């Protein structure tokens, strides 16, 4: 894992599967208090240049890390907040009612499937029904094809998600990099899933570093095995002072 230069680096972190362990449902995820403390200390040492990049909405991120708030790109970059308590920039148009209804029908095929409506995207989780993976993916693709619109199907860990084109985690990261305190720094991004590949690609435009967690992401120059290892690294960084 790279050493951070407090004066020159910026740290961008995916959440689920990267700094916290995957849970049966998004609501079941628990953020350890020790992780909150580490992130708070690192942010201070970086002069505020720490942000979360997630498929979660900003509301969900805030609930997860309460009482802390962070600069963040939420909903795959559809929502961007440049300062912890700053205004939210909406960078995308929410899905239409017809689009949302079409994907909602997929989740009704089996009671073990869980629908997550993020406004800008719709996710169908099949963690409780892994045997339905192929059916869920195929059905979602069929529904998207019927809509005939600019929609993108994202496959993640036990989830398939539908969103419009024009925004992603990489674009969200670039937006953050255009504002203080991130402007002019070297971005270091950690992610674990297919949806993080855009962010890994984006950091290269700033001579940054992409680090994959648990699996190898294209373009990532480093890899660690688990969120637990990432938390240990963050705890180590958080134990250092700015001197």
- As a whole number of angstroms, the distance between CA 95 and CA 98 comes to 8
pLDDT exceeds 50 at position 25: yes
Please indicate, yes or no, whether residues 19 and 83 belong to a single structural domain of this protein: yes
HSE-up of residue 31 (Cα within 13 Å, Cβ side): 21
CA 129 to chain centre: 23
pLDDT exceeds 90 at position 14: yes
Please indicate, yes or no, whether residues 87 and 101 belong to a single structural domain of this protein: no
Asked if residue 175 lies in contact with residue 99, where contact means CB atoms within 8 angstroms, the answer is: no
Please indicate, yes or no, whether residues 62 and 135 belong to a single structural domain of this protein: no
Going from the C-alpha of 130 to that of each of 26, 118, 125, 134, 160, the distances in angstroms are: 16, 22, 9, 9, 12
Question: Residue 1 falls within a domain, yes or no?
Answer: no
Beta strands 9-13 and 186-191, pairing class:
parallel
Please indicate, yes or no, whether residues 86 and 22 belong to a single structural domain of this protein: yes
Question: Residue 57 falls within a domain, yes or no?
Answer: yes
Total domain count, the chain: 2
Query: Which domain, by its residues, includes 53?
Result: 9-92+167-238
Question: Residue 4 falls within a domain, yes or no?
Answer: no
Please indicate, yes or no, whether residues 44 and 144 belong to a single structural domain of this protein: no
Q: Which of 121, 148, 164 is the last residue of a domain?
A: 164
Please indicate, yes or no, whether residues 126 and 27 belong to a single structural domain of this protein: no
Catalytically active residues, by annotation: 14
Question: Residue 158 falls within a domain, yes or no?
Answer: yes
Residue 39 corresponds to which tokens in the numbers above?
Answer: 């992130």
Q: In what order do the strands lie in the sheet with 186-191?
A: 88-90, 79-81, 71-74, 50-53, 9-13, 186-191, 209-213, 222-224
Long-range contacts of the stretch 62-71 (C-beta < 8 A, 24+): 64/15, 64/29, 64/31, 65/31, 65/36, 65/39, 68/36, 68/39, 68/40, 70/39, 70/43, 71/176, 71/182
Question: Residue 2 falls within a domain, yes or no?
Answer: no
Please indicate, yes or no, whether residues 66 and 22 belong to a single structural domain of this protein: yes
Prediction pTM value = 0.90
- As a whole number of angstroms, the distance between CA 55 and CA 152 comes to 14
Residue 21 corresponds to which tokens in the numbers above?
Answer: 């362990």
Question: Residue 73 falls within a domain, yes or no?
Answer: yes
Please indicate, yes or no, whether residues 137 and 207 belong to a single structural domain of this protein: no
Please indicate, yes or no, whether residues 134 and 224 belong to a single structural domain of this protein: no
Please indicate, yes or no, whether residues 114 and 231 belong to a single structural domain of this protein: no
**Over the range 169-197, which residues count as b (16 or more CB within 10 Å of their CB) and which as e?**
bbbbbbbbbeeebbeebbbbbbbbbebbb
Q: Which of 44-48, 146-150, 237-241 has the highest mean predicted lDDT (pLDDT)?
A: 44-48
pLDDT exceeds 70 at position 114: yes
pLDDT exceeds 60 at position 242: no
For residue 194, give every residue at least 6 positions away whose Cβ sits within 8 Å of its Cβ, in sequence order, or none. 154, 155, 156
Residue 151 corresponds to which tokens in the numbers above?
Answer: 């929609």
Please indicate, yes or no, whether residues 53 and 123 belong to a single structural domain of this protein: no
CATH number of the domain enclosing 130: 3.90.1070.10
Q: Which of 119, 144, 164 is the last residue of a domain?
A: 164
DSSP sequence for 186-216 = EEEEEE-SGGGHHHHHHHHTTT-EEEEESSP
CATH number of the domain enclosing 67: 3.40.50.1000
In this prediction, residue 240 has a pLDDT band, given cuts at 50, 70 and 90, of: low
pLDDT exceeds 80 at position 243: no
Please indicate, yes or no, whether residues 185 and 116 belong to a single structural domain of this protein: no
């Amino acid at each position: 894992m790279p050493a951070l230069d407090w004066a020159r680096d910026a740290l961008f972190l995916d959440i689920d599967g990267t700094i916290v362990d995957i849970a049966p449902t998004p609501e079941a995820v628990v953020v350890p208090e020790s992780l909150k403390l580490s992130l708070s200390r690192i942010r201070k040492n970086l002069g505020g240049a720490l942000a979360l990049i997630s498929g979660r909405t900003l509301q969900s991120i805030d609930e997860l890390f309460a009482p802390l708030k962070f600069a963040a790109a939420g909903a795959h970059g559809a929502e961007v907040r440049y300062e912890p308590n700053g205004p939210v920039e909406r960078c995308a148009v929410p899905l239409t009612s017809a689009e949302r209804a079409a994907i909602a029908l997929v989740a009704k095929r089996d009671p073990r499937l869980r629908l997550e409506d993020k406004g800008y995207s719709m996710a169908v989780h099949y963690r409780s029904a892994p045997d339905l993976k192929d059916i869920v993916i195929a059905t979602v693709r069929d529904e998207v094809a019927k809509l005939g619109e600019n929609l993108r199907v994202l496959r993640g860990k036990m989830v398939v998600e539908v969103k419009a084109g024009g925004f992603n985690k990489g674009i969200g990261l670039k937006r953050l990099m255009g504002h203080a305190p991130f402007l002019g720094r070297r971005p270091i991004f950690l992610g674990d899933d297919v949806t993080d590949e855009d962010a890994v690609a984006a950091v290269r435009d700033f001579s940054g570093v992409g680090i994959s967690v648990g699996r190898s992401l294209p373009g990532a120059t480093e890899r660690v095995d688990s969120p637990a290892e990432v938390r240990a690294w963050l705890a180590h960084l958080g134990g250092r002072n700015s001197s």
